[in-house]
Amino acid sequence: MLSISSRELRFVAPGAVTLGGLLGEAIEANRRGRLSTFITGPDSPAIAIFDPVAVAVNDGGDWYGEHAGKWLYAAARAAVGWGDAALLGRVRAVADHLVALQDADGYLGNYPPHRRFTVKQPPKPFSWNGEPAFRTWDIWTHAYLILGLLEVARATGEARYMASARAIGDLVWRTLTQSEVRITDLGNHFGLSATVLLDPACELYFATGEQRYLDLALLVLDQAEADPRSAFLTAALAGADPSEIATGKAYQLLWNLVGLAKLHRATGEDRFLAAVYFLWERVRGDHLTLGGGPWGGVAHRSREVFNAAGSFSPYGYVETCSTMAWIQLNRELLAILGEAKFAQAIERSAYNDLLGAQASDGEDWCYYSFPNGKRVHTTYWRCCKSSGAVALEELPGIAYGVTANGEVAINLLGASTATLEVPGIGTVRITQTTGYPFGNSIDFTVEADGAPVPLLIRVPDWAESATLSGNDEALTPDSFVRVETAGTVALTLPMKPRLHRAMARNVQESLTPDGSAVAQEVLRQEYVALTSGALVYATRLIDGFKAEETVRLDADAVAADSEGALLLTPRDRAPIKFEPYYRAGGRHDGAWRLTWLRLAPEDVT
């Protein structure tokens, strides 16, 4: 069985941490943009679809009901975090409207009676993604409603929102135990879009302490495991690659892993954590872009599934929903295990693929982002606009953590302030003063009535030769360094430009008639990309019009200029200017970004 050293972290409540710098700007834009304009009250289109007249004719169903729960979750957090009374008032009004629409049996979706998850549907026809003629996102919508209502209950302290969430959980329990309906009947992708109920079922258990919600989570897992196509726990423990589980749909699989991690927290069962950790390692090793988002779209029938392990293309896609789920999965593992690499994964995806999908107005988002490709801001109803908003609102709560023995873990680097309750010390205020991710030094100032506070300061995985004031030992990248202080300590992070290589390669393997192995390389395309510190860099269209470029590089081809940009100087042509990916080309619809440039083929002799 997997053995992992553990340092559990308790994250802080919304409002205890304020992020500044790039992340703070993105979160403020999110509050002023997406969270304040998409839904303004019960008459907003995303809420109006729950009204009885609209529900009665909604035979197609689909996923649009998810926006309500996502918005409640993110907006409630933002309202508390920023002390925004007006936003909290709108959250309350929307939640009250939805609660008033809830049926006596607990149903709170937007499907007509004959299409609801409580009704046994005809068998699904087989298809590559397990999708029936009528899609079944009813449980998916209710899963987000539970999470949203629970967050509103925390924000307001009012019991009716908790009661509404519990009523949904009770209805699902009755349906799965008192009828012929099984959870895998209720979702696409061989049931994975319904088994995501693992997460909200665990949250109901954590919020109420009632055994029946833990039993519900275990029942969902058991029913998932009963279908070999959706048995993600068994597949993970057997060493399967994420691309091989069900349809390999990144968003759904990662959300199921979030639920499985929470089920480990609820039960203590090691196999749940082992499965999550195994798949996390596979995703990190084989299924992330340089910007940290899960990617798909390479020679596959769907843009949103994990690519086959070992495949590479600079034109692969990152779905913003999948980036959100990846951040949430790392949040859970960071809480359970307290290891720096999970915070590193969050920071990498946040500063690059997440911010790279958000427009500067905070309302527009890319559904898909491309390492090499054009920004395309998606349409009104698309899921990723709400997922991006949720992902940003996760970041303040993840930025700091407190261990049971009174250590403060600083997980996300960047300008911020935090007011924390630390065991054995009391109230502690910590401030990060820095220009990070551009500046290479961070001052950590502690205020705690003169008492020294043990800090666990994360050293990024790219930070070779980092130093901490008052510490004579060499710092290990991708780890925490422990220091006790009642004042200020400074972390210095050398931010040298780095050149990364990737390869699209195909080797034809076969056996000759005598059984001898033959391996012949038939494709080899090598690419280079640039990072500096936490940021991935990209260039605009080459020479103002070319979407591709082939370069020949010498050892000293990369340098930083006086404005903080990076210059790549190939042989035989003028330097190419790179800027941070999130803003490369301008944060507007239609802007081009090129992260990877192709290397010239090897000389043939």
Quick: pLDDT tens for 200-256. Answer: 999 999 999 999 999 999 999 999 999 999 999 999 999 999 999 998 999 999 999
pLDDT given for residue 234 in this prediction: 98
What token pair was written down for 575?
Answer: 């330097």
- In the predicted structure, residue 602 carries a pLDDT above the cut 90: no
Find the mean pLDDT for residues 500-509: 90
Distance CA 224, CA 82 (A): 40
The answer to whether residue 588 scores a pLDDT higher than 80 is yes
* Torsional sign, CA 58, 59, 64, 70: positive
CA distance 529 to 551: 11
Q: Check residue 605 and give its pLDDT.
A: 37
Cα separation, 579 vs 143, in Å, equals: 39
Considering only 131-145, 317-331, 346-360, 564-578, which range has the smallest mean pLDDT? Answer: 131-145
DSSP 587: S
Residues ≥6 apart with Cβ < 8 Å to 105: 118, 167, 171
Task: Show the CA angle centred on residue 331, arms to residues 328 and 333, nearest 5°.
Answer: 115
Q: Whose structure tokens read 């630390």? A: 422
**What pLDDT band is residue 522 in, cutting at 50, 70 and 90?**
confident
pLDDT category at 310 given cuts 50, 70, 90 is confident
Percent of the chain with pLDDT over 70: 96
